[in-house]
Structure 1
Amino acid sequence: MAVWALGINHQTAPLDLRGRFAFALDQIAPTLQGLRQSFGSAGTQHSGVESAILSTCNRTEVYCAAEHAALDHTLQWLAQSGGISAQQLRPHAYLLQGDGAARHAFRVASGLDSMVLGEAQILGQMKTAVRAAEGAGALGSTLNQLFQRSFAVAKEVRTSTDIGAHSISMAAAAVRLAGQLFEDLGQIRVLFVGAGEMIELCATHFAARSPRQMVIANRTLERGEKLATRFDASVMRLAELPEHLHEFDAVISCTASTLPIIGLGAVERALKKRRHRPIFMVDLAVPRDIEPEVKQLADVYLYTVDDLATVVQTGQAQREAAVQQAEAIIDVGVQNFMHWMDQRDPAGGVVPLIQQLNSQADDWRAQEIARAKKLLAKGQDIDSVLEALSRGLTQKMLHGAMAELHAGDLDARTQAADTVSRLFLRSARGHRER
């Protein structure tokens, strides 16, 4: 069985390229279906591929398992889904297989591959991705083992090391940057665009600074109101945003829109109404929520997820020791997963041998039971029939071992004797050793 992973992230691909491959949660199931169908059309050797997709603001990763790896096909499929060629995508992508794919999954789950080293949000995002793959019928036993083991490793990393002790979240970084622009965050008006998990985190951090006003703008009022009640905030429809944009000193946006929802013209009109008082803007969405040209305006301070990278890396030195500990835990996890994979490998694993042994034992048992039934039918007493049944089973079980003990030269017989002793005389050996 082969396992492989293909992905792009904040370290390998720019924001706009990542935006081409961002999949909303409701897109995962049909996208996985399309991926698996593409494998089927590529040939029978790639049919029945297990697959899962992890898509966040910082990464899009495709995990697969099948009898034969198909990294090039996976790369071509992903490139096509983003509307570019495989040649354009390849320099920004990482392709991993075997223990490399397992190690990457474990590092991602543990927060070692995140923009915010040690952040815990990615673990929940991975679990959501696994549930989506399972719901789409794309998750088989191999990928399920890979992800369940990654979750277990992540849990051990978080409980056994200080990997997240000094982390600064994206939400906290946004507040820190706002504090550098505004003298008193308690006097500003903040607009949050969207009502998802990231906006909730940002609202939590800003609420701790007691701004003058907090407003949630969302496409549906119901979800916006649910979040607004937690922070004593107001709510507005997303369609009302352009006419009210000038009222806010800070705008934090993170929606699942595939196109920008705050354009250059809207921001220019807002600045004019504000008489060019500055606006602090954070675009945490991938693809972008705010047109990139907005950043060129003199009175706008616009930050994207990539711009926050230097801020969130504060405390890196304090975490180096924890990273080493985490990598050691991951090493053990990778070794255990690959051992599990080897055991299931028909070419070199023990599972086929176990199956053969069980099949042969069942045949012997069936033969002896049939023989015993015939003897009983002839009127023989039960004790003698049971004696014959047990003797027949014992002889069948020991026949191969006895033959090996009498075959070959002295070295072969000595080796056979040691093997037979270990297999059949365990209790006696244990007694002698004690």
Structure 2
Amino acid sequence: MAVWALGLNHTTAPLDLRGRFAFALDQLTPTLHSLRSSFGASRHPDVEAAIISTCNRTEIYCAADHAALDHTVGWLAESGGVAPALLRSHAYTLENDQAARHAFRVASGLDSMVLGEAQILGQMKDAVRAAESAGALGSTLNQLFQRSFAVAKEVRTATEIGAHSISMAAASVRLASQLFEDLQQTRVLFVGAGEMIDLAATHFAARSPKSMVIANRTLERGEKLASRFGGEAMRLADLPGRLAEFDIVISCTASTLPLIGLGAVERALKQRKHRPMFMVDLAVPRDIEPEVKALSDVYLYTVDDLAQVVQQGQAQRQAAVAQAEVIIDAGVQSFMHWLGQRGTVPLIQQLNAQTDAWRAAEMARAKKLLAKGEDVDAVLEAMSRGLTQKMLHGAMAELHAGDAAAREQTAQTIARLFLRKER
């Protein structure tokens, strides 16, 4: 059994390229079906697959009898509308132990923009649930991810890898406080109502801004989140007309196209008499048109722009990385041992089937003899002799086959298998 991974992340690919390969959670099931069907039943039957897609990474994990990295690269390139060569130049491909090590490091927060951040673990669990619901998760990938979660838990409890961690949401508040002297005098707009917006709203709420508004496509979901912070909800369709009201805009949706365009921001600035606006686009693909960043009264940050801020505290966490890597090494070795044992399963099944057939044949023969009135002891003796002869026939034949060297090697193997002494 082979395991392989293909991915691109914040260290290997620019934001706009990552945006081409971003999959919302509700897109994962049809996407996984497309990926698995692309392999073809004849060439790669029963391919297991899972896709992890976040603002910082998109990764595909697969398992099958034989690795098919080239095909996986081709499929992903086509889905994103780019040439395979371009994708390869910004992607990483991993097999077997390296794929497992990468999954363990991602789950443990060692491969994140924010070293030690815990959000990726929840995102991985969501991806695994989606793969399971789509029928794409088999025993091999299930083992890989369950072991990833176990390793991540051990890393977080046995090391200080998460200490001093600065999240994207916390970084947004820190940058906003550098622009505005008093955040209590600001009006904050959150676009979206997902996990990242929830986290950002929690951080901003702690600074008690003048008002907080949640703009979401589904008003009910926006109202539910806004009620937790004493805020207001509005429909996404009303955003262009109300944009000028807000000093701070934090956006993170699953939209495939920008929701806030250059024209809307220019009109908002004019209404604000060019008072500054602080904007953070945490979405991949972008929610805010990149041209907005060129406006003189707008301070626009993307997930990649936040890198320097979130790296603060990195030095304090480096000491824990070495400890985490030791835990991960042990996890990789354990998984590869399990994976190696999986290769013997078909042989074990064949052996069990063969011995069951022999046993059934000898039992049927014994029952016939007993029905004829044969002596019980004689029948049992014949049955036991028949079973042992069937089990030893192949070994005996091999002892008389081949040259002297082959017979010697066979003899040693047979002695090891059949003449083991009880301890």
Distance between the aligned counterparts of 1:58 and 1:105, measured in 2?
Answer: 15
Give the counterpart letter for 1:365 in structure 2.
Answer: R
8 Å CA contact retained: 1:52, 1:62: yes
Distance between the aligned counterparts of 1:141 and 1:307, measured in 2?
Answer: 39
Give the counterpart letter for 2:83 in structure 1.
Answer: S
| Aligned residue runs from structure 1 range 10-409, under 5 A | 10-40=10-40, 44-345=42-343, 350-380=344-374, 382=376, 385-386=379-380, 388-390=382-384, 392-393=386-387
1:107: how far off?
1.1
Distance between the aligned counterparts of 1:405 and 1:323, measured in 2?
Answer: 55
CA deviation vs aligned residue, 1:345-381 (integer Å, no higher than 9, x gap): 3xxxx33442343233223322331232122112235
1:392: how far off?
4.7
Query: Residue 153 and residue 234 in structure 1: after superposition, are their counterparts in 2 closer, same or farther (change >3 A)?
Result: same
Could you tell me the TM-score, scaled by structure 1's length?
Answer: 0.89
SS of the residue corresponding to residue 355 of structure 1 reads: helix
CA deviation vs aligned residue, 1:88-131 (integer Å, no higher than 9, x gap): 22111111112111111111111111111111111111111112
Query: Residue 381 and residue 31 in structure 1: after superposition, are their counterparts in 2 closer, same or farther (change >3 A)?
Result: same
SS of the residue corresponding to residue 152 of structure 1 reads: helix
Name the stretch that deviates more: 91-100 or 408-417.
408-417
Q: What is aligned with 1:419?
A: 416
SS of the residue corresponding to residue 44 of structure 1 reads: coil
CA RMSD of aligned residues (A): 2.5
Distance between the aligned counterparts of 1:9 and 1:355, measured in 2?
Answer: 41
Distance between the aligned counterparts of 2:90 and 2:342, measured in 1?
Answer: 33
SS of the residue corresponding to residue 6 of structure 2 reads: strand
1:20: how far off?
0.8
Give the counterpart letter for 1:363 in structure 2.
Answer: A
CA deviation vs aligned residue, 1:315-370 (integer Å, no higher than 9, x gap): 1111112111111111111122222222223xxxx334423432332233223312
Name the stretch that deviates more: 8-17 or 26-35.
26-35
1:394: how far off?
5.3
Give the counterpart letter for 1:37 in structure 2.
Answer: S
SS of the residue corresponding to residue 43 of structure 2 reads: helix
Query: Residue 48 and residue 231 in structure 1: after superposition, are their counterparts in 2 closer, same or farther (change >3 A)?
Result: same
Identity %: 77
Distance between the aligned counterparts of 1:391 and 1:38, measured in 2?
Answer: 53
CA deviation vs aligned residue, 1:287-310 (integer Å, no higher than 9, x gap): 111111111111111111001111
8 Å CA contact retained: 1:401, 1:420: no
Query: Residue 54 and residue 369 in structure 1: after superposition, are their counterparts in 2 closer, same or farther (change >3 A)?
Result: same
Query: Residue 419 and residue 246 in structure 1: after superposition, are their counterparts in 2 closer, same or farther (change >3 A)?
Result: same
Distance between the aligned counterparts of 2:185 and 2:70, measured in 1?
Answer: 54
Distance between the aligned counterparts of 2:171 and 2:390, measured in 1?
Answer: 72
SS of the residue corresponding to residue 107 of structure 1 reads: helix
Long gaps (5+) in structure 1: none
8 Å CA contact retained: 1:36, 1:47: no
How many pairs were matched up? 420
Give the counterpart letter for 1:170 in structure 2.
Answer: M
Query: Residue 398 and residue 82 in structure 1: after superposition, are their counterparts in 2 closer, same or farther (change >3 A)?
Result: closer
Query: Residue 220 and residue 404 in structure 1: after superposition, are their counterparts in 2 closer, same or farther (change >3 A)?
Result: closer
